Amino acid sequence: MNDHQAVGDDCDNGSVSYEPEPHHKEAFPVLVLGALGVVYGDIGTSPIYAFREALHAASLDGSLSRTDVLGVVSMIFWALALIVTIKYVIFVLRADNDGEGGILSLMALARSSFKSRPQLILGLGIVGASLFYGDAVITPAISVLSAVEGLEIVTPTLKPFIVPITIVILLTLFSIQKFGTASVAKIFGPITLIWFLAIGFFGLLHIADDLSIFAAVNPYYAFEYIMNNPQTAFPTIGTVFLAVTGAEALYADLGHFGRKPIATAWMWVVFPCLLLNYFGQGAFILAYPDEAKNPFFEMFPHWALLPMVLLATMATVIASQAVISGAYSLSRQAVQLNLLPRLNIEHTSEKQSGQVYLPKVNALLGIVVVLLVLGFERSSNLASAYGIAVTGNMLVTTILLFIVMTRIWKWSLWLAATLTGCFLIIDLTFVSANLIKVVDGGWASLVVAFLIVLIMFTWVRGSRKLFEKTRKGEVPLALISKKMAENPPTLVPGTAVFLTGDPKSTPTALMHSLKHYKVLHQNNVILTVITAPSPLVKKSDRVRIEPINDLFMRVTLTFGYMERPNIPRTLAICRKQGWKFDIMTTSFFLSRRSLKASARSEMPHWQDRLFIALAKSASDATEYFQIPTGRVVEIGTQVNI
């Protein structure tokens, strides 16, 4: 990842974010269990609604033939095998960027192989990330709603309470995110393990209803259904895709747990249990074709129905966690890549740097998810909105994976083209099948994705314009310090600390201080703050002082990613290195840029306004670094963009 300095009204704030490679220090079984709870919740709850919706789409008149059922089960089996096992587990998970995964990480990896940093690849990354956000708001809504609907089977009198119960559960879920993924995983992991074992067990019991269901392993039945049912083939393929939604979370959450725990959890727990359940549902329908309305819940014995509804509800809450955690990781990467303004990022684990919580992202996701539940009301309605964003994200992943294979892994062109060509055929088939859902509800996730594209594109374009305007006024620090030493202006007592993200350039605050005050402090410190790739930093490694001349020195403060930077307290350590820091004689100078839309802007007026609003949303440097407001001097400059 590239180091990132946020652009905005606190642009020159002294913070250089160096994001570390994740270190997974927990025991391997603990990481596997955590991956079950955080990564596989989404795809693990797909059996609740995926097979049901596929059966409904497979029949125009409501009647199901044996070949219909075998065709649906066969398509689900091969979708899981080809998309999740082969594409994601075997290949995509290997395309990590210093331990991080996700579409933006893959985009950065692909771009790094080009000296020119093609804008086309950046655009693909933005589109893929935006589609992931579109999926991230649909998943919690459909997952929890589909599980709570199981209460209708227990007792129809609870039907009016389905939506209110769902909203309460979702609000609770989003409210506990601040405690961190690690804490959540400790609770969710065991529950998810019980869930997979339970659905696998009941699926195994019902496979005995009709052992001929194993014929669905033969892809012939999938092709036979598609060829013989041209009217329903595409809608059925679109609903079959619901069985693999959540596969992209494997890659998005790579930084949380690592490749081996995620792959192990899939191969030894998730994949076998999912297959047992889908094949069990298929055998159940072959034996009892009248139960196709809701086969997942109908196949449970009466004594197990209520416990499984409750377990399903807990499992779908966990399913939501998978994409929520992925959205956090994606947002952090977007900030690092300067695709979004600086967001408040809270690290929630002392052992894993990849586990983060973003309050603003959490709040926005929660609001949109609740609105979707209120708007669609039924999981079947949401099923129409589900899948479009995910298929688009997977398509972008395949394209970027091809670049990584050929330019990073140095695979031969024909081998990479053959493999990704197969993936492209599958992806394009599912994309085409899901496009027919746009009118029925698919527009919801596309609207979310479009808004994210607009925000990212505006931030990238506006940041580039702002950089071009401000770069003209930048002066090398070495030049200024030399001239000031040779011919100093009036010197005043005390120390001035200028925060900057670029220690080699003259801070904007220093330039404007000289311009307007015509004076210089006796001691001038160019201060940069760095975040280290470890949760804590020893005091001996905290401060680095580099004298420039009698008037200037450069100071670098290093903090662990779990530490909240406190600049005044840390500068006290400098006394041991010869600088007698005194907070009462020290002033901190920060640059605050006020952006104004120009009448002759290259961007439309509305886009200028949007960029300015995004810039103003950047975190406040004074509060973040815990500098006493009485010791801060903010020098504002107005920049027309």
DSSP secondary structure string for all residues of 357-388:
E-HHHHHHHHHHHHHHHHHH-SHHHHHHHSSH
User: 393 vs 126, 130, 265, CA distance in Å?
Assistant: 10, 8, 23
Task: Write out 294-325 in H/E/C secondary structure.
Answer: CHHHHCCCHHHHHHHHHHHHHHHHHHHHHHHH
What does the alpha-carbon distance between residue 24 and residue 46 come to, in Å, rounded to a whole number? 29
Regions of the chain where pLDDT drops below 70: 1-26, 60-62, 181-186, 322, 336, 347-355, 470-473, 532-536, 561-564, 599
Mean confidence (pLDDT) of the chain: 84
Residue 571 main-chain phi, psi, to 5 deg: -65, -20
| Phi, psi dihedral angles at 68 (to 5 degrees) | -60, -50
Distance CA 137, CA 515 (A): 50
Of 552, 535, 553, whose CA–CA distance to 544 is shortest? 553
Q: What is the pLDDT at residue 10? A: 43
Whether the CA torsion 490, 495, 496, 500 is positive or negative: it is positive
For the record, the structure tokens of 640 come out as: 């027309």
Residue 193: per-residue pLDDT = 94
- Give residue-wise pLDDT tens across range 262-294: 999 999 999 999 999 999 999 999 999 887 778
Q: In residues, how long is the chain?
A: 641
- Cα dihedral sign, 297-300-301-306: negative
Give the span between the Cα atoms of 315 and 188, in whole angstroms.
8
Q: What is the predicted pLDDT for the residue at 15?
A: 45
Report residue 173 as tokens. Answer: 């879920």
Q: What is the largest CA-CA distance in the chain?
A: 95
Neighbours of 510 (CB within 10 A): 26
Burial 386-400 (b: 16+ CB within 10 A, else e): bbbbbbbbbbbbbbb
* Residue (of 434, 65, 428) closest to 228 by Cα position: 65
Domain residue ranges of the chain, discontinuous segments joined by +: 36-461, 477-640
What pLDDT does 588 receive?
92
Strand 356-357, strand 346-347: pairing: antiparallel
Q: Round the CA-based radius of gyration of the chain to a whole number and report it.
A: 28
- The CATH classification number of 36-461 equals 1.20.1740.10
Q: What is the model's pTM?
A: 0.79
pLDDT of the residue at 68: 92
How far apart, in Å, do the first and last CA atoms of the chain sit?
28
In the structure encoding, which two tokens stand for residue 135, read together? 């999926």
Q: What pLDDT does residue 561 have?
A: 54
CB 377 within 8 A of CB 79: no
Helix (H) / strand (E) containing 470: helix 443-471
- Residue-level pLDDT at 347: 67
DSSP state of 21: P
Cα 582 to Cα 19: distance, rounded to the nearest angstrom: 31
Q: Distance between alpha carbon 219 and the CA centroid of its chain, in Å?
A: 34
Q: How far from 315 is each of 129, 162, 169, 542, CA to CA, in Å?
A: 25, 17, 12, 44
**To which H or E segment does residue 519 belong?**
strand 519-531
Dihedral, CA atoms, 344, 347, 353, 356, nearest 10 degrees?
-70
- 87/387 Cα distance (integer angstroms): 18
Secondary structure string (H, E, C) spanning 265-297: HHHHHHHHHHHHHHHHHHHHHHHCHHHCCCHHH
CA pair distance 215, 212, nearest whole angstrom: 6
pLDDT at 99: 75
